[in-house]
């Protein structure tokens, strides 16, 4: 009996030790610091998987890529073709990547990937300055799983680097809040801030917003010597911006075609309150990525974060809001569209305020408010994490023209005609040489993009031009008609109906966002 009691006692101690070890491990895993690093690791994996998918360049990427590969470094300082605009520094890095690694998607998307990964670490640094420890992993998880942020980390555009540079600019500017500003520190902030303007157009909004706020705070607090030093730093940034404007931005800001294409991204007047409310509301859907009822929940949490900071730390609230307010001011001046991917760089500031709001609600003494905060946390974290996890199995594709061109090349006969529908022109031109096509081997369809952009539908005049263009292909026994970036359903249906009237379909091949038909047009 004594031995039995000793045995049971020993088993109890072992169970107790096992439980203690388990709880210690669980506590270690769920600590805010380790959760933060786990969120960063997840974000890196999501971005690498999307990058590794090596999807085809879609239309917007292709036109910028053609500028990069067809121009010298010096020529990239001139206005870009095809109504494109990108920061000079970004273009130079892209050109260097192509020359060093070769003209392919991996090289073109490497810089956006690296800046997309860097943004995770930069957000972590900014979050440590702004948020309570419980809120940091929330902010990082929201950012790491944001589907638009993940996607643009592997697109041949500047939007991913815009985010990283916005975070870097914010960190630089907040360093000016220190009571003792050393000469070496000020010089570093001046130089890095000035350079960042050449790599990101909206960097000036972050620098101007946070920098001006810090200057005003120093003046209010009576720190005149520090205020003078900060004004000198801002003078350096302003000088860099003016030079950049004269070399690059002046032509871009006067491009009426670009401004017209973003027409609804500007308010009719600075007093158009409905536009401001609508623009801010849409931000939570695109680019922040909360759809359906979740965008309303995200807005409420964001407002809770603003209210929380308004009570306990007004300075931090103003720091996080200042880039948003300056960007809205630029939209009022008709200089920068406040819409979709062009304001992707503001996502970290919204997310930081949302993380603060969720933490504020979850840490209330009221069980009701704490419960609401926990439910909101699950509702706002679960969908983006689920979407991002699906990317591990099925990365996002847009316009997969590569396999379509490969199919045509494999099945094309010597006398076949290859017709490229005009919306896929630049994608095809980027890939043409890779698949052995030279000028004269294909026909580019009639260009009606101007009418499409203005009307968003096929006009009678446009349709007549399409018919006349397709009629020129009659009499050929084998005509390949390749489509990509063909977004207008009405247009596609009209063209297919007309082709069936004037010929007979022999073959077809389709991939996401791109397809090809083979027709006998000898009727």
Other Cβ atoms closer than 10 A to 185: 16
CA distance 151 to 49: 10
214-243 pLDDT tens trace = 999 999 988 898 899 999 999 999 999 999
Helix pair 367-391, 32-52: axis angle to 10 deg: 30
pLDDT for residue 21 = 53
Distance, C-alpha 70 to centroid of its chain: 25
CA distance 56 to 431: 9
327-363 pLDDT tens trace = 999 999 988 999 989 999 999 999 999 999 999 999 8
Token representation of residue 67: 């500028």
Place of tokens 């709001």: 357
Higher pLDDT, 29 or 274: 274
**Nearest 10 degrees: CA dihedral of 314, 315, 320, 323?**
120
CA distance 179 to 54: 48
CA distance 358 to 377: 6
- What proportion of the chain, given as a percentage, has pLDDT over 70? 90
CA distance 326 to 171: 17
What confidence category does residue 29 fall into, taking pLDDT thresholds of 50, 70 and 90? low
CA distance 257 to 308: 43
Whole-structure pTM value: 0.91
105, pLDDT greater than 60: yes
83, pLDDT greater than 50: yes
Instruction: Give the burial string for 472-507 (b: 16+ CB within 10 Å, else e).
Output: ebeebebbbbbbbbbeeeebeebbeeebeeebeeee
- What proportion of the chain, given as a percentage, has pLDDT over 90? 72
Say which range, 10-24, 171-185, 417-431, has the weakest mean pLDDT: 10-24
CA quadruple 212, 214, 217, 222: dihedral sign: negative
In sequence order, the 6+-apart residues with CB closer than 8 A to the CB of 291 are: 285, 383
429, pLDDT greater than 50: yes
CA distance 432 to 328: 42
450-485 pLDDT tens trace = 444 444 567 788 888 889 999 999 999 999 999 998
């Amino acid at each position: 009996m004594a031995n039995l009691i000793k045995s049971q006692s020993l088993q109890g101690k072992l169970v107790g030790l096992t439980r203690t070890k388990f709880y210690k491990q669980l506590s270690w895993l769920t600590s805010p610091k380790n959760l933060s690093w786990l969120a960063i690791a997840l974000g890196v994996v999501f971005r690498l998987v999307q990058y590794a998918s090596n999807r085809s360049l879609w239309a917007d990427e292709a036109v910028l890529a053609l500028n990069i590969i067809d121009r010298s470094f010096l020529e990239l300082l001139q206005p870009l073709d095809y109504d494109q605009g990108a920061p000079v520094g970004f273009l130079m890095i892209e050109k260097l990547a192509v020359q060093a690694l070769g003209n392919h998607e991996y090289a073109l998307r490497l810089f956006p990937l690296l800046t997309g990964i860097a943004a995770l670490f930069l957000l972590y640094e900014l979050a440590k300055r702004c948020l309570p420890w419980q809120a940091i992993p929330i902010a990082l998880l929201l950012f790491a799983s944001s589907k638009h942020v993940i996607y643009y980390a592997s697109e041949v555009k500047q939007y991913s680097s815009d985010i990283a540079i916005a975070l870097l600019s914010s960190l630089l500017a907040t360093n000016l809040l220190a009571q003792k500003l050393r000469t070496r520190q000020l010089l570093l902030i001046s130089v890095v801030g000035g350079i960042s303007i050449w790599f990101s157009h909206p960097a000036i909004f972050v620098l101007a917003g946070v920098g001006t706020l810090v200057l005003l705070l120093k003046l209010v607090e009576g720190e005149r010597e520090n205020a003078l030093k900060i004004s000198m730093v801002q003078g350096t940034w302003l000088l860099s911006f003016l030079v950049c404007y004269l070399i690059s931005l002046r032509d871009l800001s006067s491009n009426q075609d670009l401004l017209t294409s973003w027409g609804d991204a500007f308010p009719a007047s600075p007093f158009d309150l409905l536009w401001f409310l609508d623009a801010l509301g849409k931000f939570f859907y695109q680019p922040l990525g909360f759809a359906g009822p979740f965008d309303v929940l995200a807005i409420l949490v964001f407002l809770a974060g603003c209210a929380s900071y308004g009570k306990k730390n007004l300075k931090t609230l103003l720091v996080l809001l200042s880039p948003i307010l300056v960007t809205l001011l630029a939209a009022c001046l008709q200089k920068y569209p406040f819409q979709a991917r062009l304001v992707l760089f503001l996502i970290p500031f919204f997310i930081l305020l949302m993380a603060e709001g969720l933490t504020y609600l979850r840490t209330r003494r009221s069980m009701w408010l704490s419960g609401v905060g926990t439910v909101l946390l699950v509702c706002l974290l679960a969908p983006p994490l689920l979407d991002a996890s699906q990317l591990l199995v099925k990365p996002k594709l847009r316009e997969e023209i590569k396999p379509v061109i490969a199919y045509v090349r494999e099945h094309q006969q010597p006398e076949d005609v290859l017709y490229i529908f005009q919306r896929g022109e630049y994608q095809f031109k980027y890939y043409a040489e890779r698949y052995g096509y030279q000028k004269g081997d294909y026909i580019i369809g009639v260009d009606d993009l101007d009418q499409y952009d203005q009307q968003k539908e096929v006009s009678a005049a446009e349709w007549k031009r399409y018919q006349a263009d397709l009629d020129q292909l009659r009499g050929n026994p084998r005509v390949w008609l390749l489509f990509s970036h063909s977004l207008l359903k009405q247009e596609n249906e009209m063209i297919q109906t007309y082709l069936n009237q004037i010929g007979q379909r022999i073959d077809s091949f389709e991939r996401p966002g791109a397809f090809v038909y083979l027709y006998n047009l000898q009727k």
